[in-house]
Structure 1
Amino acid sequence: MQRSIFHLFLFVYLSVFAIPNAVMAQAGSVSGQVVNEKSGRPLSGASVELQHHSQSPYVTDKTGRFSFAGINWGKYTLRVSREGFWDFQKPMEITSDSAIVVTVVLKQKLYVHEDGQGIILQEPCDAKSGFGTIILYVRDRENDRSLSNAEIVMESEYVDTSGTIHKFCCSSGTLDSTGYVKLCNLQPGDHTIFVNVNEYERDRYTETVAPDSTYTHHFRLKKL
């Protein structure tokens, strides 16, 4: 009788303590660092989300690092976002004792300040009265395919209300796979836009922007 009680106690102990500990030992982790593509420096203030994880979202500090622990087996998506940068996402699968380390490289959107006015590369565009907009498309000349990773550089010249001429260069950014860019809240004046894509000829486009006007231009680049 005493032996039966002992065996029962041992069974309950293993059920309550041993099995959960084995499950915990098999849980995975995901950690890494968020960096700026151009400078290679860590990015603070990035929101890092691991789908369906209780610690999400995680906001990076000045080191750019993040960490998720105790992740159950399964498939997940890591999503990273930060103001002024293109979003990042990566699917991953957690298996027994997975310890995944990821370096997240964020591409910077075009965002400069022009006497307090923003030029932005993404939607939505909070257009302001008295300023202009330029919409650009970058495509392959032969097959009309959108070109990703196109680098946009803009030089601008405009005259303010006092008659002073302002010139500035260079504001730049990299397009995503859509090959589309919308430049908002441009000061009325001359704006020259250069586009550069690896293995393609460079091209340029100049527009004299009028207040409250929108212009559209299609870059069709020839492959080298």
Structure 2
Amino acid sequence: MASLRDKQIASLKRMLNLNDAGAGGSDDANHSLSQHQQQSQQHQQLGLLGSDGELIWKVLVFDDLGMQIVSSVLRVSDLRSLGVTMHMHLSANRHRIEDVPVIYLVEPTTANLKAITGDLEKDLYSPAYINFLSSIPRPLLEDFASETVANGTQDHIAQLYDQYLNFICTENDLFSLGMQNDHTYWALNSGQIKDEQLDHILNKVVSG
């Protein structure tokens, strides 16, 4: 039976293969496949191939949590085998790379969406595969859609997914929500915290 870590790795592989339905997979599903089918699926998991039979190369851009999640389960060599030539932080000074798809793995926050909007305006990469670590609130999605249409950059977006991957696997079936910087224990037990701050923490826990 696949562990939580195995399932997260399978989800990340599928995402890095541009959310191709045949990529990723789990150990549970593999048990029912023939040896030939398993070998074929494992080959596909290494990286999505284009129509010319060549590996599709892409750029991975993440925020702090996205970086922690990826680095906890995948090595640089794993990313390379999946076609990721470069991986960079969203806040880093990044340069234009023409005709290369970009995969974003970020939390759905106003700041992150603003950064992605800026990338689209600068035409840094194309197309863009936007993956949110948790479900994006509808008001944020509507604002992002409106700004994208207003800027005329909607054609640069190939996909937009809620991945529900906002947890860090430290062991096979042990995970963390990566909330150490929020002083979570103090906040939940303090009488000084504001209601909106408490709601933010509780929503993050429930989402994770």
Q: TM-score, normalised by structure 2?
A: 0.21
Which has more radius of gyration?
1
Q: Which has the higher helix share?
A: 2
Q: Which has the higher strand share?
A: 1
